[in-house]
Structure 1
Amino acid sequence: MKNKFTLLLKSSSLIALFILAISFQTANAQEEDKFSFDVSLNSDQFFGFYPFFQGNYKLSDNTAFTFYGILWSGGTGGAWGNWTEFGVGLNFDVADGVSVNPQIGILGGNLLSSGTFGSGRFGDGVVPNLTIGLDKAKTEGQIYAGFYAPLRNEAPPSGTTLSYLHYWANFGYKASDFFSFGGHFEHLINTGGSNVSASTDVYQWLGPYVQFTKPGGGPYARFSFGTDLVEGNDSFFKLTTGFSF
């Protein structure tokens, strides 16, 4: 009788441990499903080469905490005091396939605070920004707007601070799970500074894009190209490749 009781106790313990292990794995899987991460490598003729990452952690079915970073210093930004951008925000799924993501970023470098080349500093500027995303069965798109404002004035007596408005919009058609195409418009405006009295267009790009994506998610590549509408400029090209985790 004692042996049977001992065997029953051991069996019950093993079953309990098995149930706990399954429960832990299920909870861990559910926690992992809340988190997503994208990394991309970008290149265009103004900013040069710049890696970008963004993360998303679900707080509820329709809300998520977001964070992002841009390593502008990979290209021209290296001369702007190792220019770097990092920000956080909240993403809201407002309709089927439509999301709204307000964020605020902070800059390291010296482009905005001094407008000159030299050593970088944390708190070069602040970037309130908004992204609206579209991802449906047959259509895709994005609208972005960000204002780059200096947080302080480090410009020499003959220099100036700088501020910028950067926005774009694109819309495309998913011809298949592998291939999509569409149009891209992007505008960068130097909106002024401590010694800048009027805003000027830096570039104004307009043209098509093509994108190739692994069906089911993962790696993707997009190439955008076309004309620059600013007088004196010629054309534009932007190449992006990345991976969604």
Structure 2
Amino acid sequence: MQNKITKITAAVTLTFVCFLGMSFQQASAQEESRFNMDVTLNSDQFFGFYPFFSGSYSLSSTLDFTFYGILWSGGSGGGWGNWTEFGVGVGFEPAEGISVSPQIGILGGSLLSKGAVGAGIFGDGIVPNLTIGLDKAKTEGEIYAGFYAPLRNEAPTGGTTLSYLHYWANFGIKATEFFSVGAHFEHLINTGGSNVAEATDVYQWLGPYVQFSNPKGGAFARFSFGTDLVAGNDSFFKLTTGFSF
């Protein structure tokens, strides 16, 4: 009798342990499904090489907490006080295949607060920004706008602070699960500063792009190129490769 009770107890214990294990695995899988991370490596002739990452954590079925960072210091930003951008915000989908993410970022460096002169400082500037994404079965696209405003005035005598408006829009057709083609427009404007009399165009790019994507998701490569519409400028090129986790 005692042996039978022992076997029953062991069976119940084993069943309970297996149940707990399955519950923990399910909870872990659900937790992982709430977190997303994308990393891209980018290069163009103005900013040079700059890694970018963005992530999100699902707060509910309709709202995400979002965060992002740009290591501008990999390219031209290396001369702007190790220019670095980090921000947080929220994300939601007003319709299927359309995502909206308002965010606010803070900068370290010297570009905005010192006019790219001297050592970088934390609080170089602030960046309210908005990203709208399109990802449907046959189409893709993105609209971005960010305003780069100085938080401090640390410009040396005779120097200036700087501010910028940076925005772009692109739209493409998914010709196959592997290949898509579209158009890209991007504009950077020096909107002013403590000793800047009027706004000026830095660049205004327009041209096509081609993209190759893993049909199963997770990786892609995009090449954009074309003309620069600003007088005196020539052409543009932008290369991006990205990974999703």
Give distance in 1, aligned partners of 2:61 and 2:142: 21
For 2:182, the equivalent position in structure 1 comes to 182
Tell me, what secondary structure is at the counterpart of 1:86?
strand
For 1:56, the equivalent position in structure 2 comes to 56
For 1:170, the equivalent position in structure 2 comes to 170
Matches within 5 A, 1:1-245: 1-245=1-245
Tell me, what secondary structure is at the counterpart of 1:113?
helix
Give deviations 1:40-71, integer Å, cap 9, x for gaps.
11000000000000001111122111100000
Tell me, what secondary structure is at the counterpart of 1:87?
strand
Give distance in 1, aligned partners of 2:116 and 2:16: 66
Structure 2 residues not aligned, in runs of 5+: none
- 1:34, distance to aligned residue in structure 2 (A): 0.6
Give distance in 2, aligned partners of 1:7 and 1:229: 81
Tell me, what secondary structure is at the counterpart of 2:113?
coil
- 1:3, distance to aligned residue in structure 2 (A): 1.1
Tell me, what secondary structure is at the counterpart of 1:190?
strand
Give deviations 1:125-164, integer Å, cap 9, x for gaps.
0000000000000000000000000001000120000000
Number of residue equivalences: 245
Tell me, what secondary structure is at the counterpart of 1:20?
helix
Give distance in 2, aligned partners of 1:111 and 1:161: 8
Give distance in 2, aligned partners of 1:11 and 1:38: 45
Tell me, what secondary structure is at the counterpart of 1:99?
strand
Tell me, what secondary structure is at the counterpart of 2:11?
helix
Give distance in 1, aligned partners of 2:61 and 2:177: 25
Equivalent position amino acid for 2:159 in 1: G
Equivalent position amino acid for 1:118 in 2: G
Tell me, what secondary structure is at the counterpart of 2:112?
coil
Give distance in 1, aligned partners of 2:233 and 2:45: 11
TM-score w.r.t. the length of structure 1 is 0.99
Identity of aligned residues (%): 74
Give distance in 2, aligned partners of 1:118 and 1:43: 25
Give distance in 1, aligned partners of 2:60 and 2:182: 32
RMSD: 0.6
- 1:218, distance to aligned residue in structure 2 (A): 1.3
Give distance in 2, aligned partners of 1:62 and 1:185: 30
Structure 1 residues not aligned, in runs of 5+: none
Moved over 6 A (4+): none
- 1:116, distance to aligned residue in structure 2 (A): 2.9
Tell me, what secondary structure is at the counterpart of 1:211?
strand
Contact 2:117 2:155 in 1 (8 A): no
- 1:117, distance to aligned residue in structure 2 (A): 2.8
Give distance in 2, aligned partners of 1:62 and 1:234: 44
TM-score w.r.t. the length of structure 2 is 0.99
- 1:168, distance to aligned residue in structure 2 (A): 0.2
